[in-house]
Structure 1
Amino acid sequence: MARFLVIGGFLAAVFWVFSIVDCIVQPASRHRGVPKGVWIAIVIVFPVIGGLLWFTLGRLRPGRSAAEERYLPLDDEPGPQRRPQDRISDAEQERRIRELEAELARLDDHGDPDDPRPRP
């Protein structure tokens, strides 16, 4: 049991030092929430919890600005956007819906000719 406490204490100390160094070397523009000095104090005063807070809440991800971190909509997906000329009109959409409903009704009435299962 003592061996696990020693190993856990060593790993906590390494994580604490790594958190302090990472917080110090990051530019002030990559700190979120409070100023850089406050983050350093949080990481030093609260060794493991401060480091966890720093990596989860205080540090911006690489390549992202603070504005992008704060205001990224959840439903935005990267990729090509649909152009206005690619959109179908409401009348065309209604026509397609009616065709699909008619085909479904026909299949319900007559069954699918390609379906090898017998109808009940």
Structure 2
Amino acid sequence: MLLLSQAVGLVTLVLWLYCVFDVITTPEAVCRNLPKIGWILIVLLFPLIGSVAWLVAGRPERAQAARSRPSAFPEYDRPGRFAATNPDDDEEFLRRCRERAEEQRRNAPKKSAEGEA
């Protein structure tokens, strides 16, 4: 009987460690039903029940996790993002770049002739 309780304890420990690691490494955006910090607290405070709850109700579905995997360039994955195929086609963008560069030139500290000598 003691061996059985030790085996159950070991399985619970392995399950808990797996779930803690899984919650921590899962991106916030794909956690289901609760925010990530909520799942971390539940799994840490209630090892067996929290681990099972994470696996059933919190862990992202496989297809959803694959779709929302962060890319190397997350700014390109933003919904509604407009990307001009040719920078010369986006006159508004070029105009704003020129205005910003001119503003930076005006606001840049001037080097005095005395300070350089």
| TM-score of the two chains, using structure 1 as the length reference | 0.52
Percent identity, please. 32
In structure 1, distance between residues paired with 2:48 and 2:17: 10
Q: Which 4+ stretches in 1 moved above 4 angstroms?
A: none
User: Which residue number corresponds to residue 107 of structure 1?
Assistant: none
User: Which residue number corresponds to residue 75 of structure 1?
Assistant: none
Q: Is residue 57 of structure 1 aligned with residue 70 of structure 2?
A: no
In structure 2, distance between residues paired with 1:33 and 1:64: 14
Superposition deviation, residue 62 in structure 1 = 1.7
User: Which residue number corresponds to residue 116 of structure 1?
Assistant: none
The Cα offsets for residues 52-81 of structure 1, whole Å up to 9 and x where unpaired, read as 10010011212227xxxxxxxxxxxxxxxx
> What one-letter code is carried by the residue in structure 1 that aligns with 2:39?
W
5+ residue gaps, structure 2, are 66-117
Which structure: greater helix fraction?
2
In structure 2, distance between residues paired with 1:6 and 1:60: 31
Q: Secondary structure of the equivalent of 2:63?
A: coil
Aligned-pair Cα RMSD in Å: 1.1
In structure 2, distance between residues paired with 1:64 and 1:36: 16
In structure 2, distance between residues paired with 1:52 and 1:61: 15
| TM-score of the two chains, using structure 2 as the length reference | 0.53
User: Which residue number corresponds to residue 32 of structure 1?
Assistant: 32
Superposition deviation, residue 33 in structure 1 = 1.3
Aligned residue pair count: 65
Matched ranges for 1:75-94 at <5 A: none
Superposition deviation, residue 24 in structure 1 = 0.5
